[in-house]
Structure 1
Amino acid sequence: MGIDPVTLIVALITVSTPVLLAAIGELVVEKTGVLNLGVEGMMVTGAVMGFVVAVNTGSPTLGFLAGMASGVALSLIFGVLTQLLLSNQVATGLALTLFGLGLSALLGVGYPGSTPPVVTDPFPAAMAEIPVIGPILFGHSMITYLSVLLVAAVWYVLGYTKMGLIIRAVGENHDAAHALGYKVIRIRLMAIMFGGACAGLGGAFLSVVRVQNWVDGMTAGAGWIALALVVFASWKPWRALLGAYLFGGVTALQLRLQAAGIDIPVEILAMSPYVITIVVLVIMSSDKSRAALNAPAALGKVFHATG
């Protein structure tokens, strides 16, 4: 039983979308000098909230908005603790992930097995039936197209606008940015909220569109993959897109190899996307000067306004 390349490409794009959304949000957060390790917690909370709201209202759109809102709410907890109360960013991010996993398990009680409303595609069905090109270009949810547009928007804003210049300045030297009159904490809080919204939307997409079910802990490390992709991408949006599609391709391929009955232990196939991600990060880290070239200089450092 062969593997259809067109079906594989369509699957990899769908699989990549939640990770891409979370990664592009975290990229903006880290560009301001903040390291939020709570991406997994925000994603899984967005997944359960998006699913619960979509099931109860019959509206996928409200589900996506609920997922974003829950991600923003959790990110604000992180933002207040790290930016206003000056707690350690690494420890707070890890705590946020644990909190999100526990909260999602509580909120999702009774929902496994429920069926969410069908998400309609933005293009007519006839366009998706065009041989080869149709399924690849026109057979996806609106959120998938939004994720690619978001990559383009972040690339443009960071590279060609005053807002992007300010974001990068805060991430490179927060003291100098503060001396110039920029509200460092406010800028970072807004970036943290943006990252939370992206992670929550990615989680909601995962439960409502990709899996169409709620399962406790269903993100299965996708948030950590998103964090790794930011490093893999050297904090560049288009590289994040490439990395997300690489991860999605490996994931989609291992699922199809299992379905095709390839005589390889299921555990090896299941761990392959994560192994590939680790290998890529090791390769990227082999040349430390190159890997750190685009890393924000103030990443993870505490900012305390002195005046």
Structure 2
Amino acid sequence: MDLLTISLLISGIHLAVPIILPMLGGLISERSGVMNIGLEGMMLGGALAAVAVTFLTGSPWLGVLGACFSGVLSGAILALLTVTLRGNQVVASTAINLIGAGLTAALVPIIWGIDGTTPSVATVPPLVIPGLSDLPVVGELFGAMTVMDYGAILFAVAVWWVVFRTDTGLRIRACGESAESADAAGIAVVRTRFIAVTVSGVLAALGGAYLSIVALDAFQAGMSQGRGYLALAALVFGKWRVWPAVAACLVFGLADAFALRSQISMPGVPHDLLLALPYILALVALATFVGRSAAPAGVGKEFARA
């Protein structure tokens, strides 16, 4: 019972945010009809860019902008390969993952002259809102939240509103259901998909930046540790809807926080088994719901205007 505290909730949220952000990016991309399993590589690129820019400028806010630029670059590359050149979406996304993992690990010794982990950099500080941090029970929670934590909530609301409540979202979903029908209705399918995939890259990169300059203060090779794949699992579990997928991300984050704290309070349980808890939940979720999920009908299908 000592594990079930407000600090566990805080840790769970901090571990869920870097899953929520790439999940939102994946939702936008796949709702437009482009399968994006390259979220992991995009996260690593954003994490390294955030640390590199923060190291050079001393400002974590410029580091966040650096991560956004990295996301635009990786998202545009994936869009070029899959939307413009009509390459296989699974192969192209896998290439983004491999390049993201390999290139970021290779750049660390080139930039800093050391392997593995970069020097420490400035981090995004908590946002203290007068009055909220003084509230009983939940005050500690609000006192630990940063701009990026609140930003993840705002991004979730914005994605839900744009994709499911606006004409722009209707065009995105039309491209994901039937690109040919959308094209016949006058929708610019290629442009819509290109923008959607690029935006997904930015959101995934922000998830990586959260890991490197909010949760930690440095970049470590492979530091995303499969969170991009957890984001995809949450997306499938949530049936490509925002709030069920966000709930799945929170469950994964809380499971990760519980596993980390259990290493101290439950020394008899194997360490590796505890660390695998979020991924075990992801496998159970996929095995249970993947057959019942209704993916966009046109996801993974290339489009060539006749």
Q: Same fold (TM over 0.5)?
A: yes
Which blocks of at least 5 consecutive residues in structure 2 are unaligned? none
CA contact (8 A) 2:128 2:142 kept: no
Following TM superposition, where does structure 1 have runs of at least 4 consecutive aligned residues deviating by more than 6 angstroms? none
Pick from 224, 230, 236 the counterpart of residue 229 of structure 2: 224
For 2:3, what is the secondary structure of its paired residue? coil
Which blocks of at least 5 consecutive residues in structure 1 are unaligned? none
Matched with 1:193 is 198
Distance 1:125 1:99 in 2: 44
Quote how far apart the aligned CAs of 1:58 are.
1.1
Quote how far apart the aligned CAs of 1:78 are.
1.0
Matched with 1:130 is 135
For 2:275, what is the secondary structure of its paired residue? helix
Pick from 132, 143, 150 the counterpart of residue 145 of structure 1: 150
Matched with 2:214 is 209
Distance 1:125 1:12 in 2: 24
Quote how far apart the aligned CAs of 1:118 are.
3.5
TM-score (norm 1): 0.94
Matched with 1:257 is 262
Quote how far apart the aligned CAs of 1:132 are.
1.5
Amino acid at match of 2:140: P
Amino acid at match of 1:6: I
| Aligned-residue identity in percent | 36
Distance 1:50 1:129 in 2: 32
CA contact (8 A) 2:49 2:67 kept: yes
Say yes or no: does 1:271 pair with 2:276: yes
Matched with 2:9 is 9
Amino acid at match of 1:140: M
Quote how far apart the aligned CAs of 1:212 are.
1.7
Matched with 2:120 is 115
For 1:35, what is the secondary structure of its paired residue? coil
Pick from 280, 293, 299 the counterpart of residue 291 of structure 1: 293
- C-alpha distance after superposition, 1:111-170 (max 9, x if no partner): 625121132222247743533111223421111111111111111112211111111111
Amino acid at match of 1:67: A
CA contact (8 A) 1:68 1:199 kept: no
CA contact (8 A) 1:52 1:108 kept: no
CA contact (8 A) 1:64 1:204 kept: yes
Greater CA deviation, 259-268 or 226-235?
Answer: 259-268
Amino acid at match of 1:233: G
CA contact (8 A) 1:120 1:141 kept: yes
For 1:116, what is the secondary structure of its paired residue? coil
CA contact (8 A) 1:169 1:177 kept: yes
Matched with 1:154 is 159
Quote how far apart the aligned CAs of 1:240 are.
1.5
For 2:162, what is the secondary structure of its paired residue? helix
Distance 1:182 1:194 in 2: 18
- Aligned Cα root-mean-square deviation (Å): 1.5
Quote how far apart the aligned CAs of 1:173 are.
0.7
Matched with 1:237 is 242
Amino acid at match of 1:148: I
Amino acid at match of 2:18: P
Distance 2:206 2:237 in 1: 22
Amino acid at match of 2:279: Y
Distance 2:131 2:261 in 1: 26
For 1:291, what is the secondary structure of its paired residue? coil
